[in-house]
Structure 1
Amino acid sequence: MTTALDLPEEIGDLSRTAGALPAITRIVGVGTAVTGPRISQPELLDVLGVEDPRVRSVFLNSAIERRNLTLPPVDEDGNRRPEPQGDLLDKHTALAVEMGARALEACLKDTGATLSDLRHLCCVTSTGFLTPGLSALIIRELGIDRHCGRVDIVGMGCNAGLNALDVVAGWSAAHPGELAVVLCAEACSAAYALDGTMRTAVVNSLFGDGAAALALRADGADAGTVDVPRGPRVLKFDRVLITEAIGAMRYDWDRDLDRFSFFLDPEIPYVVGAHAELVVDRLLAGTGLRRADIGHWLVHSGGKKVIDAVVINLGLTRYDVRHTSGVLRDHGNVSSASFLFSYERLAAEDVARPGEYGVLMTMGPGSTIETALVQW
């Protein structure tokens, strides 16, 4: 079934634009959850016993005030020592299922739906590896119908929430009236390396634990069976893979630590900034829209320098990225879930008006920038 999008004539028919969806898929609900103690940056430095002034500066100048983290337990000497990889994988499983289940339930409540209404679940995580995937564990945990469709997206990193949204929006368009959910659950505490190096200091200063879920439904004959809010329509996606920077963000095996470890190249903000215009202009190409026509920007809370680079290169204001910066301040970088935390704040503000447009943007390993165009 193919349905032309109901847009003003001057905008054009996005159903004929590359990357547009064949039917009108709407965002109809959102929910988030965090777990573990809430800890400030100065408190974390004290807990970890960090005295190196260079490392302390990275933490204290991150624009992050507090995060939720589940730290290693205190040993008999009162110290917190690095956890072996097996313990970290167990931590990831426990935290991702616990947070993910609560975020999903919050999302369904916001949607006005129940677990029995769910027909498709796509789970995203990059902070641990599971087989069977997180989707299977969530279905068992919550008693969701075992015939529910499911997909797991693993290892794509901070950009993966929009990769999942692209996939699930397509599923929704092919199944009008049926409810689907994207669930991003990132237990970043399960990916920490406590070795005192500057490499890990950058990572440890930035990430927090969090999960977020987004409900989607395409308009169709059965769409009125559940009382759902009329959220923004998902119109189009575009992306860029910056292959020359493919190793600039990675999570790979550290033979010295005998475990996985994150690496973030200091040049990442500049790489992202330099390509932000390219991908946004591609996203808007053929729509008749300019950047100035976009009323709402939901950008991944990748870090202070990343946000600054996007603001400068796209000509945005601090107001445009208020939720991006606010999520970074209150939760740190919660990886693939970050932009959904921002969307929840925008929805709670209730400032978006019918006909207004928004751009969603995430960045991650590859290096990758993903974007989506939505309309209220």
Structure 2
Amino acid sequence: MYSAPARILSVGTSLPQNRYTQKEILELFHVENPIVRRIFQASHIEGRHLYLPEPDENGVPNESQSQLLSKHRKGAMELGRAAVEKALDRSGLKASEIDMLCCISSSGFMLPGLTAMFVRHFGFRTDCHRMDLLGMGCNAGLNGLNPVTAWARANPGKTAMMVCCEINSALYVFDNKVGTGVVNSLFGDGCAAVVIRAQVQDSPLLLPEILFFSSHLIPETWRAMSYHWSEEHGKFYFNLDRDVPYVLGAHADQPIAKLLAPFGLQIRDVSHWIVHSGGKKVLDALKYTLGITAHDIRHTVSLLRDCGNLGSGSFLFAYERLLKEGKVKAGDYGVMMTMGPGSTIETALLKW
């Protein structure tokens, strides 16, 4: 056993200033395909915060791959700073007091990575331990939280921070295809930061302990969510298979069972579900397989409605909404769950 459990001290999130309703996006870029318009206007997403360009002379977005990489870097710096500052303020810390920094992103590529940029500009120490996690997709937040938690346990009293930055508007193509429309209707931009430390519960706040992680990979569906290079558009694009929600839903009970079993728990013992906002069909499939209700995932549902799919940091946005609700009690168990490429399901067990 560890001398002190790893706990979540605080979380901070940020979004671009500009928010667009789905209808506004359709009108801004003159989308005429009736099927795509119906997808955009589905009731489960009302609007998204995005870094959108002005339409070109043909009334469509037209950004080169170079411009998109620049957008990702600038957006991650802007939103990253805001999320980091919020998380630090809520934990009463300064950037110079962070001993380990992990940054996660799948919506752009940088070398050096975001951790080096954040150290340079945000006041983190130059001897801060760093880790950049790239290209794992929407599940990556829990893939990162696992080693960050292990680092905190191995270094009790020292403080780690994980930052998920996704500028999804920096990864797109624009055409009249239905598949393209599905992807372009779903994702939003956002950044989330979380502070972790191994310590005893000596705070008047309820700080959840991170107990355990469980992963599940479905390798036969490895292409279901994947990046590709488009020769036609001269940029990368994201492919999303239509069967993804059902594949993820059908396997969700397996990592959950492995997560809960070591503690003698069952699904009915879980008070709080903190789930990635992957889309309505994904959430419906999870509800069916796990036997949980819309109320159980209300924070994820409202996040999807307000912001769309925010990628790797979306579960931290949902966690923040749970905390703001103010209904967590000592002794409660919570499950974090993210899903993404691979196809992958990641889970973590919390106890307040």
TM-score, scaled to structure 2: 0.97
2:346 maps to 370
Q: How far has the Cα of 1:73 moved from its partner? A: 2.7
1:108 maps to 88
Residue 169 of structure 1 pairs with residue 149 of structure 2: yes
Letter of the aligned partner of 1:275 in structure 2? Answer: H
Tell me the distance in 2 between the aligned counterparts of 1:213 and 1:365.
22
Deviations 1:106-137 (A, max 9, x none): 00111121112111110000000000001111
Change over 3 Å in CA distance of 1:124–1:232 after alignment to 2: same
Deviates more, 1:240-249 or 1:211-220: 211-220
State percent identity of aligned pairs: 48
- RMSD between aligned alpha carbons? 1.5
Q: How far has the Cα of 1:52 moved from its partner? A: 1.1
SS at match of 1:239: strand
Tell me the distance in 2 between the aligned counterparts of 1:78 and 1:121.
43
Tell me the distance in 2 between the aligned counterparts of 1:217 and 1:74.
46
Tell me the distance in 2 between the aligned counterparts of 1:334 and 1:352.
24
Q: How far has the Cα of 1:228 moved from its partner? A: 8.1
Tell me the distance in 2 between the aligned counterparts of 1:49 and 1:233.
49
**Conserved 8 A contact 2:48-2:307:** yes
**Conserved 8 A contact 1:29-1:229:** no
| Residue of structure 1 aligned with 2:298, choices 322, 340, 349 | 322
Tell me the distance in 1 between the aligned counterparts of 2:26 and 2:344.
31
Letter of the aligned partner of 1:25 in structure 2? Answer: A
1:346 maps to 322
SS at match of 1:26: strand
Residue 256 of structure 1 pairs with residue 250 of structure 2: no
| Residue of structure 2 aligned with 1:69, choices 37, 50, 63 | 50
SS at match of 1:344: helix
Tell me the distance in 1 between the aligned counterparts of 2:289 and 2:41.
26
Q: How far has the Cα of 1:159 moved from its partner? A: 0.1
Letter of the aligned partner of 2:8 in structure 1? Answer: I
Tell me the distance in 2 between the aligned counterparts of 1:320 and 1:310.
11
1:155 maps to 135
Residue 190 of structure 1 pairs with residue 170 of structure 2: yes
**Conserved 8 A contact 1:112-1:228:** no
Letter of the aligned partner of 2:84 in structure 1? Answer: L
1:3 maps to 2
Deviations 1:172-203 (A, max 9, x none): 00111111111000001101211121121011
**Conserved 8 A contact 1:32-1:212:** yes
SS at match of 2:283: helix
Letter of the aligned partner of 1:35 in structure 2? Answer: P
Residue 142 of structure 1 pairs with residue 122 of structure 2: yes
**Conserved 8 A contact 1:122-1:183:** yes
1:280 maps to 256
TM-score, scaled to structure 1: 0.91
2:26 maps to 45
Tell me the distance in 1 between the aligned counterparts of 2:120 and 2:154.
26
Change over 3 Å in CA distance of 1:322–1:60 after alignment to 2: same
Q: How far has the Cα of 1:326 moved from its partner? A: 0.6
Residue 178 of structure 1 pairs with residue 158 of structure 2: yes
Deviates more, 1:41-50 or 1:254-263: 254-263
**Conserved 8 A contact 1:62-1:206:** no
Q: How far has the Cα of 1:61 moved from its partner? A: 1.2
Tell me the distance in 2 between the aligned counterparts of 1:228 and 1:103.
23
**Conserved 8 A contact 2:2-2:153:** no
Residue 30 of structure 1 pairs with residue 30 of structure 2: no
Q: How far has the Cα of 1:154 moved from its partner? A: 0.4
What are the ranges of 5 or more consecutive residues in structure 1 without an aligned counterpart?
5-22
Deviations 1:186-221 (A, max 9, x none): 00110121112112101100000000011101016x
**Conserved 8 A contact 2:11-2:195:** yes
Tell me the distance in 2 between the aligned counterparts of 1:72 and 1:91.
10
SS at match of 2:271: strand
What are the ranges of 5 or more consecutive residues in structure 2 without an aligned counterpart?
none
Change over 3 Å in CA distance of 1:141–1:228 after alignment to 2: farther
Tell me the distance in 2 between the aligned counterparts of 1:192 and 1:256.
13
Count residues with an aligned counterpart.
Answer: 352
**Conserved 8 A contact 2:97-2:124:** no
Deviates more, 1:253-262 or 1:117-126: 253-262
